[in-house]
């Protein structure tokens, strides 16, 4: 017991240090790039043309081609549900507590803080909430056209027209976005307090236990004076017939609509003759060329929606405990999937620090460095033998990937400048 609480303390102060760095980075960013460095517009017509072609050849499309239409009454009530603590059994935590506008729909923390947490950003770390051993994922483009692989380990995924998830044959929907929206409310420590009784019910993979929590939540939403009538009307149902199906459909509609991809500077460059600076252009040319980024970060969302290994430092307990996260292996139990994670989509990536599945890296530039020089980001002498042995294993899997080879610091800055053109 004593051991556990000391460990918790150590982990949360390490995570606190990263969160403070993120907060500092954010105030820095506002002034720096523009004022201290002049980056003239790119004029090299041949390279600009080659970059446009490479983007199109790698699946880049206009934002408007990705949108999936949603019913306004449904995303309107979905917005209320998203912000409502009714979504948790203890009535204290909402989806919005971890997916915040000010952090690009993530939370600005390395690992998420679930039930028991209060406040936003670094303040949340010392509020006594339970640590969730993964970095919060942002929502940009989730559930839009072709975006149907969810979570760092792809534990909800559409494969050959079927949704594969922990629900097995009982998947509550054929829409993976709706299935993904079913999970947080029954995830122990995320939105459910970790008591032995709840843990036994939910951990035994008993679909009945999850369904019974969710039907309780649905009746609460139906009874809520601000939400119930709107929810029933949006689906043409009497209030007492509203089920968790409608609750999650409304949530999914809200996420699809509110976090849809908007036109970026890069879209204006590729499709409307807009300009890029020299550094941004050089970064784009590297991204699609020698940097090999598009091999994994290709397609309309800058992700192949497949699973790969990059030896990022690991922060916090890790999904598998003792600072280890075996990634995709947790979902498939196939040893080949050990340490693989879904390639992160890159829209708005400049707004969603810290980076990687455990939020271990604060600066965008360092997230790029992690791909080709991961040892630069860790002090191996400060690590325990166990941490180093985990690192060796991850370096082994990463060495089998086609990752970029050594890039200079200036090239890394160019790539980061290019990634900033994907913000909106
Ligand atoms: C305690 C913090 C927390 C709360 C509350 C929370 N989330 Fe999340 N969310 C996370 C974390 C952490 C991840 C990444 C987890 C992973 O991939 O293992 C995530 C990932 C997701 C994803 C997957 C995104 C992607 O890129 O695949 C969806 C969808 C999502 N959350 C929806 C919701 C909804 C809907 C709610 C409310 C019902 C909610 N979340 C509440 C922390 C939270
Ligand atoms: C072999 C596939 C692969 C290649 C090539 C690749 N990446 Fe990644 N990238 C990943 C994976 C997988 C992750 C997440 C790893 C993790 O969290 O453990 C990632 C993470 C990132 C992140 C952090 C995103 C976030 O939200 O946490 C950035 C930024 C990034 N990559 C940019 C690049 C750039 C720029 C290049 C080219 C220099 C590149 N990547 C090349 C697979 C790849």
Q: What is the mean pLDDT of residues 56-77?
A: 97
Q: Under 8 Å CB-to-CB from 202, ≥6 apart: which residues?
A: 186, 188, 192, 209, 210
Q: What pLDDT sits at residue 342?
A: 98
Q: What pLDDT sits at residue 350?
A: 97
Q: What is the mean pLDDT of residues 317-342?
A: 93
Task: Give the orientation angle of helix 207-223 with respect to helix 244-258, to 10 degrees.
Answer: 80
Task: Tally DSSP H helices, then E strands, for the chain.
Answer: 14, 7
Residues 24, 17: Cα–Cα separation, whole Å: 11
**212 or 248: whose pLDDT is higher?**
248
Q: What pLDDT sits at residue 192?
A: 79
Residues of the chain above pLDDT 90, percent: 70
pLDDT, tens digit, for every residue of 277-290? 999 999 999 999 99
Residues 39, 15: Cα–Cα separation, whole Å: 35
User: Does the structure show a pLDDT above 90 at 57?
Assistant: yes
Q: Under 8 Å CB-to-CB from 336, ≥6 apart: which residues?
A: none
Q: What pLDDT sits at residue 89?
A: 85
Residue 243 CA to ligand 2 centre (angstroms): 39
Highest mean pLDDT among 197-206, 208-217, 317-326, 356-365: 356-365
Q: What pLDDT sits at residue 256?
A: 97
Structural contact between residues 301 and 65, judged by C-beta atoms closer than 8 angstroms: no
Q: What pLDDT sits at residue 76?
A: 97
| Bond into 354 cis (ω within 30) | yes
pLDDT, tens digit, for every residue of 379-409? 999 999 999 999 999 999 999 999 998 999 9
Ligand 2, residue 354: give the atom nearest the CA.
27
Is residue 87 lining ligand 1, measured as CB closer than 6 Å? yes
Residues 287, 273: Cα–Cα separation, whole Å: 20
Q: What pLDDT sits at residue 6?
A: 46
Residue with the two structure tokens 């028991």: 116
Largest CA distance in the chain: 66
pLDDT, tens digit, for every residue of 249-260? 999 999 999 999
Q: Using a 6 Å CB cutoff, which residues line ligand 2?
A: 291-293, 295-297, 308, 310, 312, 341, 343-344, 349, 352, 355-357, 364, 367-368, 371, 401-404, 415
Q: What is the mean pLDDT of residues 217-225?
A: 95
Q: What is the mean pLDDT of residues 61-66?
A: 98
Choose the residue to mutate in 96, 120, 135, 151 for probing ligand 1, maximizing ligand atoms within 8 Å of C-beta.
151
DSSP output for 5-62: HHHHHHHHHHHHHHHHHHHHHHHHHHHHHHHH---PBP--HHHHHHHHHHHHHTT---
Q: Where are the alpha helices (DSSP H) in 37-117?
A: 45-57, 72-82
* The residue count for the chain: 424
DSSP output for 131-191: EESSPPP--TTTTSTT--EESTT--EEEETTEEESTTGGG-S-S-HHHHHHHSGGGSBTTT
Q: What pLDDT sits at residue 201?
A: 66
**88 or 128: whose pLDDT is higher?**
88
Q: What pLDDT sits at residue 2?
A: 38
Closest CA to 424 of 137, 152, 159, 62: 62
pLDDT, tens digit, for every residue of 284-312? 999 999 999 999 999 999 999 999 999 99
Mean pLDDT of the chain: 89
**114 or 70: whose pLDDT is higher?**
70
Is residue 190 lining ligand 1, measured as CB closer than 6 Å? yes
Choose the residue to mutate in 77, 96, 99 for probing ligand 1, maximizing ligand atoms within 8 Å of C-beta.
99
Residue 231 sits at φ, ψ, to 5 deg, of: -65, -45
Structural contact between residues 315 and 383, judged by C-beta atoms closer than 8 angstroms: no
Element (H, E) at 342: strand 341-342
Q: Under 8 Å CB-to-CB from 195, ≥6 apart: which residues?
A: none
Strands (E), 245-394: 307-308, 341-342
Q: What is the mean pLDDT of residues 200-207?
A: 63
Nearest ligand (C-alpha, residue 356): 2
Choose the residue to mutate in 109, 344, 364 for probing ligand 2, maximizing ligand atoms within 8 Å of C-beta.
344
Residue with the nearest Cα to atom 42 of ligand 1? Answer: 136
- Domains of the chain by start residue, with CATH: 2-65+262-420 (1.10.760.10), 72-99+139-258 (1.10.760)
**135 or 28: whose pLDDT is higher?**
135
Q: What pLDDT sits at residue 285?
A: 98
CA–centroid distance for 229 within its chain: 32
Nearest ligand (C-alpha, residue 418): 2
Give the confidence band of 328 by pLDDT, cuts at 50, 70, 90. very high
Residue 417 CA to ligand 2 centre (angstroms): 15
User: Does the structure show a pLDDT above 60 at 30?
Assistant: no
Q: What pLDDT sits at residue 61?
A: 98
Is residue 181 lining ligand 1, measured as CB closer than 6 Å? yes
pLDDT, tens digit, for every residue of 352-389? 999 999 999 999 999 999 999 999 999 999 999 999 99
């Amino acid at each position: 017991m004593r051991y556990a609480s000391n460990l918790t303390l150590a982990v949360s102060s390490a995570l606190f240090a990263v969160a403070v760095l993120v907060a500092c980075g954010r105030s820095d960013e506002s002034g720096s790039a523009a004022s201290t460095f002049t980056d003239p517009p790119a004029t090299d017509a041949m390279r600009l043309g080659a970059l446009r072609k490479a983007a199109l050849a790698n699946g880049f499309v206009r934002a408007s081609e990705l949108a999936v239409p949603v019913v306004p009454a449904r995303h309107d009530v979905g917005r209320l549900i998203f912000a409502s603590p009714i979504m948790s059994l203890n009535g204290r935590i909402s989806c919005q507590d971890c997916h915040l506008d000010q952090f690009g729909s993530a939370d600005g923390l390395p690992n998420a803080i679930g039930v028991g947490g209060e406040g936003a950003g670094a303040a949340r770390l010392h509020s006594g909430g339970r640590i969730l051993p993964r970095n919060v994922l942002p929502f940009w483009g989730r559930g839009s056209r072709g975006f149907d692989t969810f979570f760092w380990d792809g534990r909800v995924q559409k494969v050959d027209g079927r949704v594969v998830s922990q629900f097995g044959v009982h998947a509550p929907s054929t829409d993976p976005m709706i299935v993904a929206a079913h999970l947080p409310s029954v995830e122990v420590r995320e939105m459910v307090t970790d008591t032995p009784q709840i843990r036994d019910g939910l951990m035994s993979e008993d679909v009945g236990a999850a369904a019974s929590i969710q039907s309780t939540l649905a009746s609460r939403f139906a009874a809520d004076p601000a939400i119930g009538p709107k929810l029933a009307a949006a689906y043409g149902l009497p209030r007492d017939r509203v089920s968790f199906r409608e609750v999650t459909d409304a949530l999914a509609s809200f996420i699809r609509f509110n976090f849809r991809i908007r036109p970026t500077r890069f879209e204006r460059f590729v499709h409307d003759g807009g300009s890029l600076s020299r550094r941004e252009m050089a970064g784009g040319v590297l991204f699609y060329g020698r940097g090999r980024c598009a091999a994994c970060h290709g397609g309309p969302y800058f992700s192949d929606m497949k699973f790969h290994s990059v030896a990022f430092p690991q922060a916090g307990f890790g999904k598998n405990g003792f600072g280890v996260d075996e990634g995709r292996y947790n979902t498939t139990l196939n040893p080949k999937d050990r340490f693989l994670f879904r390639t992160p989509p890159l829209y708005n990536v400049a707004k969603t620090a810290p980076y990687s599945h455990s939020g271990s890296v604060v600066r965008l530039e360092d997230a790029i460095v992690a791909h080709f020089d991961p040892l630069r980001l860790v002090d191996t002498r400060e690590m325990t033998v166990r941490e180093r042995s985990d690192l060796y294993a991850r370096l082994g899997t990463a060495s089998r990937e086609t990752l970029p080879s050594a890039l200079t610091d200036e090239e890394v800055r160019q790539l980061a400048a290019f990634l900033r053109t994907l913000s909106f």
